Structure 1
Amino acid sequence: MSEEPKDGEPHGGSEPARRFFDAAIGLLQRARDEDAETIAAAGTLIADTVASGGRLFAFGAGHSSLAAQDLVYRAGGLALMNLLAVPGAVGVDVMPATLGSALERVDGLASAVLDTSPLRSGDLLVIISLSGRNALPVEMAVHARALGIKVIGVTSVAYAAETKSRHASGTYLKDHCDIVLDSKIAVGDAELRLDAIPAPFAPASTVVTTALLQAVMATAATTLADRGIEPPLLRSGNVDGGHEWNARVFREYGDRIFYHQA
């Protein structure tokens, strides 16, 4: 977390922006260097799932859903990644917004969602939860693995040391994953402090989490290509030929792309 400016340093103008960029860049560098092995392992696991005919899903509640959505129906991304949505918990579109936070603490919800979803043994689920402490992501990971689904968790491991779990087991998301990507985000998710502002501010979790997952997807695509398998990538619909390219991918992989089904 970036500390308050030293005496004589400006508080306004571009200074807060520079401090935030510096903090975010520092976190990205740590993710690049410290998570290199787990990024490679996660990318390989996704490539294995694609090659074996499995389907890919991503889940996140609240703002963690932003990183999940960034993987779905995305130019340059794998077409097989589907969003696993929990009604009311996807983002701030629900009213009141606090309902989404409340749903994250409801026991049994994750199991009900998984049992009525297309997920099956041999598939892969990316679960994103900054704190990893709420019932919804923990139960999601536990139940998914019981169904034979591989789980990649993206979380801040620091929360397990500094907060109390809200799941009945007392465990965290990180305890129930095949692979864990640690975002290194400090508890509270705010990078800047200032005496004149009573709360820390400027969160960076979305920046880091999204970068981690795009690094994983890049690894997966490259791994497939190295095996002689064309990765099922989407192209931008705003470039010539993009729609035709994507239509072909949807035809070839339609049984594994659920967001494109009528």
Structure 2
Amino acid sequence: MTYIKQYLEKCQQMIETVAAQEKQIIEVARIFADSILAGRMVHVFGSGHSRIIVEEMWPRYGSFPGFNPIVELSLTFHNLVVGANGQRQAMFLENVSGLAEQIIRNFDVSEQDSALIISSSGCNVVPIEMAEIFKSKGLKVVGLNTKLHSEASTSKRKDGKKLKDFCDVVLDSGAPLGDAMIKIENLETPVAPGSTVGSCMLINSIKAEIANLLTKAGRPPKVLTAGAVVGAEKAAELFQSAYDEHAHRLSKMYKSVGIESYVSKEDV
């Protein structure tokens, strides 16, 4: 069997893992739909390469407003690899306690909000603290990790707690321990990770269920759609209206944040 077929076979196994979580996916979709229907936001956070999954949720074709993608460049900008803004710094910062608090300090979160925290290992400090702080503020928190990898990994927190310890629901990408799925002959270490594939399947399964719930509730989402599907004029209208709705939702996250000013008062 070629390595290509081996990889695709592993992906098929992940499809089965995702399918087995249908009940949890529906539960997550209901949690997130409730936040969106309330005019609030689902806060989506991932550090490292989990940034990919945040962007898969919103904004991209086939997605819609209701999500607040929290992506810190200091934790996710891998392109330079070494030197200033390099990968070593990002991996270091991912385990700095207190950074999550500074990130969340920017937003006036509500118990009507919810959160999705993505971390394959579920063991790095910043994603764990993001979940912990959101949970302490009364939000429903969903974790997305790789079960086998998380169980075999050691938390970077001193108390040993992992992402799953602060989540109402935890979803499993279905990838193997270490993420890389293919063993090459005469190569000591495996290649070709799988958590992105499994996580994207989960994200889009959730997205589809949410769209159904919003539509049934009489609030059909404004979906970013290609002009090749709906025509250039309609596509432009959808993009503009979706971005505007996102701005309207996001404005609620800033109006009363932190220390009160005359600008934040209701009568101004």
TM-score class, shorter-chain normalisation, is: 0.7 to 0.9
1:44 aligned residue: 30
Give CA-to-partner distance per residue, 1:36-62, whole Å, 9 cap, x none. 111111111111111112112211111
Q: 1:214 is matched with which residue?
A: 204
Select which of 143, 158, 179 maps to 1:153.
143
Going from structure 1 to structure 2, the CA distance change for 1:244 and 1:49 (only over 3 Å counts) comes to same
Tell me how far apart the structure 2 counterparts of residues 26 and 197 of structure 1 sit (CA, whole Å).
24
Give, in whole Å, the separation in 1 of the partners of 2:49 and 2:152.
21
> Counterpart of 2:132 in structure 1: which amino acid?
V
1:22 matches 2:31: no
**1:42 maps to amino acid:** V
**1:196 correspondence with 2:186:** yes
- Of residues 125, 129, 149 in structure 1, which corresponds to 2:119? 129
Counterpart of 1:63 in structure 2 is 49
Q: 1:99-110 counterparts in 2 under 5 A?
A: 99-110=89-100
Unaligned 5+ residue runs, structure 1?
A: 1-8, 10-14
Give the letter aligned to residue 203 of structure 2: L
Normalising to structure 1: TM-score of the pair?
0.86
The separation in 1 between residues aligned to 2:60 and 2:98, in whole angstroms, is 31
Q: Secondary structure at the match of 1:57?
A: strand
Q: Residue deviations 1:180-237, cap 9 Å, x none? A: 1111222210111133111011111111101111100111111122223212322236
Kept in 2: contact 1:133–1:159 (CA 8 A): no
The equivalences for 1:160-239 within 5 A come to 160-236=150-226, 239=231
Unmatched 5+ residue regions in structure 2?
Answer: 255-268
Contact 1:61 1:91 in 2 (8 A): no
C-alpha distance in 2, partners of 1:114/1:41? 25
Question: 1:110 and 1:237 mapped to 2: Cα distance?
Answer: 39
Structure 2 counterpart of 1:17, which letter? I
Give the number of the structure whose residues are more often helix, by fraction: 2
Deviation of the 1:252 alpha carbon: 4.5
2:69 equivalent among 83, 87, 91 = 83
The separation in 2 between residues aligned to 1:213 and 1:253, in whole angstroms, is: 19
CA contact (8 A) 2:65 2:245 kept: no
Q: Report if aligned partners of 1:65, 1:91 keep a CA contact under 8 Å in 2.
A: no
Give the superposed CA RMSD.
2.0
Q: Name the counterpart of 1:3.
A: none
1:254 aligns with 2:247: yes
Amino acid at match of 1:49: S
Name the SS of the counterpart of 2:76 in structure 1.
coil
Please name the residue that 2:266 is paired with.
none
State the number of aligned residues: 245
Q: How far, CA to CA, are the matches of 2:47 and 2:250 in structure 1?
A: 21
Counterpart amino acid of 1:152? V
Identical residues among aligned pairs (%):
26
Contact 2:222 2:238 in 1 (8 A): no
